[in-house]
C-alpha cells in the first residue's frame, strides 16, 4: 500500500468517526480479505460471515479509539478479526481449524525437481497439522496475507523479532522436512 | 485443505453494510442506555447512603442527650 493510499484511507477513517456511513468504503474494500482470513480459521462459511460482520461492527464501535500507527487500517481489522475468532473458540471450546487453499501452499512451496503431486499435498497437510498454532498464524499472515513483520507483530500482539523468529523456524522445518525450496525467505 | 479460496461472488451473500450499520446503531443505543442506567443507579446509591448516614447520625445524637430527671421535693 502506497503512502498516498494510506493517507487517503486515513481521511476516510477520520470522516467515518463523525459519520459512520463513510465507513462503508472501508467495509467494501476489506470485506473479502477479512472474510477469507476468518474462513481459513473456521472452515465454515456461515460462521465466517457472522464473525466478519461482528468484526466490522466492533471496528465501528471502537473507531473513536483508533490511532494511526504507521500501518494500513487493515492491520487493525485483522487484529479484531483474530480476537473474534479466538473468542468464538473460547466460547465453543472447539478445536481450532486452519484450512488453507491448495493453491496457496503451491505458491509457498516451490519444488526443486519433482512435480507437485497429491502425495506431497498430503504430506504438507500432515506436517502443517503438527505445527503449533502460533507458527501457522505467522505463516498465514506472512505468506497468504502478504503482511510484513511489523504488521504481523501488531496483529498478533508479539514483538517484531518474535514474528521473524517464528516464521524462520517454520520455514526451516519446511525446508528440512521436505527437501524443497521455499519461495519466500521472509 | 481447500482447493480454492472463496471468490468475491461467493462472499457476496454475506456482504451487507446496512446490517452492520444497523447493529452498530443498536449497540451504540444499548451502550447509552446502560450508561444512563448506571448513572442513575449510582446517584440513587449515593442518595440512599446519604439518608442512611443522616438517620444514623440523628440516632446517635438522640442517644447522647442526657436524660432529664425531674424530682419534686415535698416539704411535708
Average pLDDT, chain B: 84
- Please judge whether A35 and B11 are an interchain contact, meaning their C-beta atoms are less than 8 angstroms apart: yes
A31 at B interface, C-beta within 8 A: yes
Indicate the pTM of the whole model.
Answer: 0.76
Partner B contacted by A45 (CB < 8 A): yes
Angle at B75 between CA B73 and CA B76, to 5 degrees: 120
pLDDT tens-digit readout, A130-147: 778 788 888 888 877 888
The answer to whether A102 faces chain B, any CB pair under 8 Å, is yes
For A18-36, what is each residue's pLDDT tens digit? 999 999 999 999 999 999 9
Q: Which residues of A75-94 are buried (b: 16+ CB within 10 A; e: fewer)?
A: bbbbbbbbebbeebeeeeee
Nearest CA in chain B to A106: B3
Which residues sit opposite B2 in a β-bridge? Answer: A101
More confident residue, A59 or B7: A59
B7, B9, B11: which to substitute to probe chain A, counting the most A Cβ within 10 Å?
Answer: B11
Cell numbers that stand for A100 in this block: 488453507
Q: How confident is the model at residue A115, as a pLDDT?
A: 58
Contact B1/A102, CB-based, under 8 Å? yes
At A33-72, the pLDDT tens digits run 999 999 988 888 899 999 999 999 999 999 999 988 888 8
Segments in chain A forming alpha helices (H): 3-18, 24-42, 45-61, 73-92, 102-108, 118-130, 133-139, 149-156, 160-178
Residue B76 burial by CB count (10 A; 0-12/13-18/19+): exposed, middle or buried?
Answer: exposed
What number is the ipTM of this complex? 0.73
Q: Out of A20, A43, A101, whose CB is closest to B21?
A: A20
**Of B1, B16, B24, which has the smallest distance from its Cβ to A121's Cβ?**
B1
**C-alpha dist (Å) from residue A46 to A101, A127, A151, B70:** 18, 28, 28, 88
Residue A21 contacts B where some CB pair is shorter than 8 Å? yes
- The 10 Å Cβ neighbour count of residue A183 is 11
Amino acid at each position: 500500500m502506497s503512502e498516498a493510499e494510506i493517507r487517503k484511507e486515513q481521511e476516510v477513517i477520520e470522516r467515518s468517526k463523525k459519520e459512520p456511513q463513510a465507513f462503508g468504503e472501508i467495509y467494501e474494500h476489506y470485506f473479502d480479505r477479512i472474510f477469507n482470513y476468518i474462513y481459513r480459521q473456521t472452515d465454515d462459511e456461515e460462521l465466517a460471515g457472522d464473525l466478519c460482520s461482528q468484526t466490522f461492527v466492533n471496528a465501528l464501535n471502537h473507531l473513536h479509539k483508533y490511532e494511526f500507527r504507521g500501518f494500513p487500517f487493515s492491520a487493525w481489522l485483522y487484529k479484531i478479526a483474530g480476537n473474534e475468532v479466538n473468542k468464538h473458540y473460547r466460547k465453543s471450546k472447539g478445536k481450532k481449524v486452519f484450512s488453507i487453499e491448495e493453491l496457496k501452499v503451491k505458491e509457498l512451496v516451490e519444488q526443486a525437481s519433482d512435480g507437485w503431486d497429491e502425495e506431497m499435498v498430503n504430506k504438507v497437510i500432515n506436517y502443517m497439522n503438527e505445527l503449533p498454532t502460533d507458527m501457522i498464524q505467522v505463516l498465514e499472515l506472512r505468506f497468504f496475507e502478504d503482511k510484513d513483520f511489523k504488521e504481523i507483530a501488531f496483529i498478533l500482539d508479539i514483538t517484531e523479532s518474535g514474528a521473524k523468529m517464528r516464521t524462520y523456524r517454520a520455514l526451516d522445518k519446511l525446508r528440512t522436512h521436505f527437501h524443497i525450496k521455499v519461495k519466500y525467505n521472509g | 485443505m481447500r482447493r480454492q479460496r472463496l471468490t468475491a461472488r461467493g462472499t457476496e451473500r454475506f456482504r451487507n453494510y446496512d446490517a452492520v450499520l444497523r447493529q452498530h446503531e443498536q449497540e451504540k443505543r444499548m451502550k447509552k442506555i446502560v450508561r444512563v442506567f448506571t448513572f442513575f443507579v449510582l446517584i440513587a446509591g449515593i442518595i440512599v447512603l446519604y439518608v442512611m448516614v443522616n438517620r444514623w447520625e440523628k440516632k446517635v445524637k438522640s442517644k447522647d442527650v442526657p436524660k432529664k430527671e425531674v424530682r419534686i421535693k415535698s416539704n411535708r
